[in-house]
Structure 1
Amino acid sequence: MDRLAKNLIFFFLLIQLFFGSFSVLGQTYPCYLYGSITTIDGDVYKGAIRWDDEEVFLTDVFNADKEENPYLKYLPESKIKNNEERYSRNRTWDRFEVTINDERRNLTNVYDRKFQCRFGDIKSISVTGSESVNLELKNGKYINLSSGSNDVGTKVWIIDQELGLLKIDWDRIDIVNFETTPTDHVETFGDPIYGKITTTKGEFTGFIQWDHDERLMGDKLDGRSRDGDVSISFDKIKKIEKTENGSLITLHSERQFELTGENDVNKYNRGIIVSIPNVGRVDFPWSHFLSLEILPLSKNTDCLSEFRVSQRLFGTLVTKEGKLYKGVIVYDLDEAMDSEILNGLNDKLEFAIPFRNIGSIKPMAYNYCLVELKNGMKLYLGDQTDVSNKNAGVIIFVNEDEYQNFKWEDIERIDFM
């Protein structure tokens, strides 16, 4: 941690890890998904879990749409109408988008919201339909969710302790129960990619999700060498360095290959995600990437302490007029738990920060704000709904029977406790 903190003005890290061929670990990294899947016929399978060929660790994020917004009833009709009119005026669509999305656009309004939380904060996911789930947080709170991403309606993989790997169809699943990761030897989907990434923003060491896809040491880096197509597993790679048209790959044997032609190794790379302890996820675009050195996995890795029982957001709101209100907070008229995630951009870097890591939020202008984390890190984030004037507003429940509504432009600062 000290080594990381030294290298950043921004942050330190530890990132999302992921998959490939499964292996038996002596529990070097204790934060993979583990639990049981019960089918509609009552069959139970237990072991390491993977969400199709993607999410496999506690730090991975589950995405879906909220089916309803229970906090609309706390807004006066006049404010709902004004917000919807403002949203309608400000909404612009990319002129290159295809018309297949038109129906969804017509259904979208200022109060539609995404749900995001890390798998480590989830107790269970019950399948309620082909595109819907009932998600239970560790505090026992249930949230009804629908589609919104490929996390809903997908296959769920499990390495059953006796049968081995099963890929269970969505319509066969009744409930997925997550359990504490075992401390003994368990068959998993493989070791995570761990290394030091050098960017235009500094150096960061942690778990890597390459091109939004490759997550495990057994995953393959694809490219084209001067002699033909190449697929190299990450466990053979020592270093990846960006070049003018592709990437220079150095193997542990010191052999080198310059690869081009595939999004794994050129400007079409979708980004490198890093998960930072007590911060969240940062997605670096290729334009900020310089190199990645793959390192042996740290034996002192601990992510379990990041996942405690979810709590209601609580804190103090100060208005531009200097008035102070203290109580339970509903942020952007939908985030109400500290396990939910705030999203924002800074110079094309995408941040996803659990609210439990945020100390304060201070609107600075119509399209950005200052976010100070509980570890002292300060970030200027903007453009997205959570951190700009697209924000639908904040409710403070001063007590059980009293609450106040605030618009983004009315807020001087929010301090979370």
Structure 2
Amino acid sequence: MKRGSAAGWAFVTVLALLAIGAGYWARKQNAHPATTTSPEATAPTASAAEEAHPSFLYGRITTVDGVTYEGRLRWGRGEEAFWGDYFNGAKKENPWAALVPPERRPKERRPIAIFGLEIAHRERPVDLTRLFMARFGDIARIEASGRDVRVTLKSGTGFYLDRFSASDFDDGVRVWDGARGVADLDSLRIRAIELLPAPRSGAAVGRLHGTVRTRQGEEFSGFVQWDREQCVGSDQLTGHTAGGERSVRFEAMRSIARRSDDSSLVTLLDGREVVLSGTRAVGQGNRGVYVDDLRYGRVLVSWGGFERVEFTPDGSGPAYGDFPPGGPLTGTITTRDGRHLTGRLVYDLDESEFTETLDAPSRGVDYTIPFGLIASIVRSGAEERGAQCARVTLRSGQELQLDCAGDLGQGNAGMLVYVADGQRPEYVSWTDVVQVALNRPPAMYPPLDRR
């Protein structure tokens, strides 16, 4: 989800400041150098750059000291590795909020209850804090300056993120440089990251792919990230067995099935079975399984909704050039009083690009759907959290019934519509929206810059 409570983000920000301060002090003491060379780089050669398959993240990093690294990238030293993965952060502010008349600023109703009985309620402004999400394949450049991290999309649109809030930029980057070897770069040493297509094609990678089945009987197929992190065959799953702790490489697995709340049954390629328990990744601490299903963009199957995953080999995934530049969101809003407003749109006072996403759950699955895949959104009018409140029709013709939560819930801050290229948009509250019909993404739009 792209929003969070003010208190929650304040807590995260405090933790981020403490972590950054601790990291800075450690560097001053030379306890943990900002740039280190991994054991993989004991004998760096030019062939390291040739190992970058087009499906891997690839780019050029410039440090604050002016040193340049170029090669395959992996965020957090063991996390995001592919162009379809998402870069996350916290937007510094919401520029769209200032375009809503003060008297029409969205509010949410909060009940006051005693022993489960509502005795009153209060209204307070909807939290307009928004997070940033973009696929790496949609990003052209990431730059850091002072408190700001500026992310520029391929379309030319720029977003300013708060460097001192938790984000993927804080995790640092591992780079496989052909001349310098493998280096782990701390975020405080990075000035700019320019994302680029790999200049040559290396060997195909062992990316995790398979079909995930939910406890509701739904199936999602595509590239997989177990526990939101492990995504290549060389990654390992660790747990406790009757004989002690054991780690199993994903490339040796045929399937993983939920055995209990706190354990998983791993079936190996040779048919042997291993029960793993006692660690976060194999039990209820698991953060869920991402599946890049081409029908929807990306889904997250929670541990509570997960039943099993069957791994199947199926290529390495899209290259950087497979992600075309997006552009501003356009379409028609139908209101409850029968008006039809056509023009450029800002959804939920946040999403303004076709490459941004609609985030909403359904039956234990969180959908992250790029607006470019969506033909229309029709509201049912239900406001209860967890109710089926919207029918989302995809450009493929498939319909999804999604819950009244996330970008479809009562926290939705409404829509801005720039009618007939107007300089000032018209505001439509979420409760007044009946349907959102989206245009197909055009090839090119003029760039924007949004702080």
Tell me the TM-score range normalised by the shorter chain: 0.7 to 0.9
Q: Residue 372 of structure 2: which of 356, 361, 380 is its match?
A: 356
Alpha-carbon deviations, 1:279-298, whole Å to 9, x = none? Answer: 21111122332222222233
Distance 1:132 1:401 in 2: 28
Does residue 196 of the first structure (1) align with residue 196 of the second (2)? no
RMSD between superposed Cα atoms in Å: 2.6
Does residue 246 of the first structure (1) align with residue 263 of the second (2)? yes
Q: CA deviation at 1:194?
A: 1.6
Distance 1:241 1:144 in 2: 41
| Residue number in structure 2 paired with 1:404 | 426
Question: In the superposition, relative to structure 1, how do residues 278 and 161 fare at CA in structure 2: closer, same or farther (>3 Å)?
Answer: farther
Q: Residue 154 of structure 2: which of 138, 143, 167 is its match?
A: 138
Distance 2:72 2:325 in 1: 22
| Large movers: runs of 4+ above 6 Å | 21-29
Q: What secondary structure, in the 3-state scheme, does the structure 2 residue paired with 1:264 have?
A: helix
Alpha-carbon deviations, 1:81-101, whole Å to 9, x = none? Answer: xx2xx33x4399xxxxxxxxx
| Residue number in structure 1 paired with 2:85 | 60
Does residue 175 of the first structure (1) align with residue 183 of the second (2)? no
Question: In the superposition, relative to structure 1, how do residues 193 and 176 fare at CA in structure 2: closer, same or farther (>3 Å)?
Answer: same
Does residue 325 of the first structure (1) align with residue 341 of the second (2)? yes
Distance 2:294 2:51 in 1: 19
Distance 1:24 1:288 in 2: 40
Read off the aligned partner of 2:242 and give its amino acid letter: R
CA contact (8 A) 2:221 2:293 kept: no
Distance 2:242 2:224 in 1: 27
Question: In the superposition, relative to structure 1, how do residues 393 and 109 fare at CA in structure 2: closer, same or farther (>3 Å)?
Answer: closer
Q: Residue 73 of structure 2: which of 27, 41, 49 is its match?
A: 49
Distance 2:406 2:51 in 1: 39
Structure 2: segments with no counterpart, 5+ residues? 1-39, 42-46, 113-124, 440-451
Q: Give the TM-score of the pair, scaled to structure 1.
A: 0.82
Distance 1:44 1:197 in 2: 40
| Residue number in structure 2 paired with 1:377 | 398
| Residue number in structure 1 paired with 2:56 | 32
For structure 1, which segment, 236-245 or 38-47, has the greater mean C-alpha deviation from structure 2 after superposition?
236-245
Matches within 5 A, 1:7-406: 30-52=54-76, 53-80=78-105, 83=106, 86-87=107-108, 89-90=109-110, 110-129=127-146, 132-147=148-163, 148-185=165-202, 191-200=206-215, 201-244=217-260, 246-298=263-315, 301-302=317-318, 307-364=323-380, 365-367=382-384, 368-398=389-419, 399-401=421-423, 403-406=425-428
Distance 1:154 1:124 in 2: 17
Distance 2:321 2:269 in 1: 34
Question: In the superposition, relative to structure 1, how do residues 224 and 45 fare at CA in structure 2: closer, same or farther (>3 Å)?
Answer: same
Alpha-carbon deviations, 1:341-398, whole Å to 9, x = none? Answer: 2211112211111111111111222253222211222222234341122111101101
CA contact (8 A) 2:54 2:197 kept: no
| Residue number in structure 2 paired with 1:9 | none
Distance 2:175 2:363 in 1: 38
Q: What secondary structure, in the 3-state scheme, does the structure 2 residue paired with 1:90 have?
A: strand
Structure 1: segments with no counterpart, 5+ residues? 1-20, 93-107
For structure 1, which segment, 229-238 or 396-405, has the greater mean C-alpha deviation from structure 2 after superposition?
396-405
Distance 2:161 2:288 in 1: 27
CA contact (8 A) 2:196 2:320 kept: no
Distance 1:291 1:385 in 2: 26
Question: In the superposition, relative to structure 1, how do residues 396 and 65 fare at CA in structure 2: closer, same or farther (>3 Å)?
Answer: same
Q: CA deviation at 1:123?
A: 0.2
Q: What secondary structure, in the 3-state scheme, does the structure 2 residue paired with 1:152 have?
A: helix
Read off the aligned partner of 1:90 and give its amino acid letter: R
Distance 2:288 2:375 in 1: 28
Q: Give the TM-score of the pair, scaled to structure 2.
A: 0.76
Alpha-carbon deviations, 1:261-313, whole Å to 9, x = none? Answer: 223323332211101125211111223322222222337x5465752112100
CA contact (8 A) 1:278 1:306 kept: no
CA contact (8 A) 1:124 1:178 kept: yes
Distance 1:304 1:170 in 2: 23
Distance 1:158 1:123 in 2: 17
Q: What secondary structure, in the 3-state scheme, does the structure 2 residue paired with 1:386 have?
A: helix
Question: In the superposition, relative to structure 1, how do residues 27 and 152 fare at CA in structure 2: closer, same or farther (>3 Å)?
Answer: closer
Q: CA deviation at 1:248?
A: 2.2
Distance 1:204 1:27 in 2: 30
Distance 2:136 2:402 in 1: 24
Alpha-carbon deviations, 1:184-240, whole Å to 9, x = none? Answer: 227x9x532122323333333321111122121111111111111111111111222
Distance 2:192 2:326 in 1: 21
Q: CA deviation at 1:138?
A: 0.6
Question: In the superposition, relative to structure 1, how do residues 250 and 154 fare at CA in structure 2: closer, same or farther (>3 Å)?
Answer: closer
Distance 2:134 2:110 in 1: 28
Distance 1:266 1:25 in 2: 37
Identity %: 31
Question: In the superposition, relative to structure 1, how do residues 217 and 91 fare at CA in structure 2: closer, same or farther (>3 Å)?
Answer: farther
Distance 1:26 1:38 in 2: 20
Q: CA deviation at 1:333?
A: 1.0
For structure 1, which segment, 162-171 or 384-393, has the greater mean C-alpha deviation from structure 2 after superposition?
384-393
Q: What secondary structure, in the 3-state scheme, does the structure 2 residue paired with 1:415 have?
A: strand
Read off the aligned partner of 1:38 and give its amino acid letter: T
CA contact (8 A) 1:32 1:48 kept: yes
Q: CA deviation at 1:109?
A: 5.5
Distance 1:276 1:73 in 2: 37
CA contact (8 A) 1:36 1:47 kept: yes
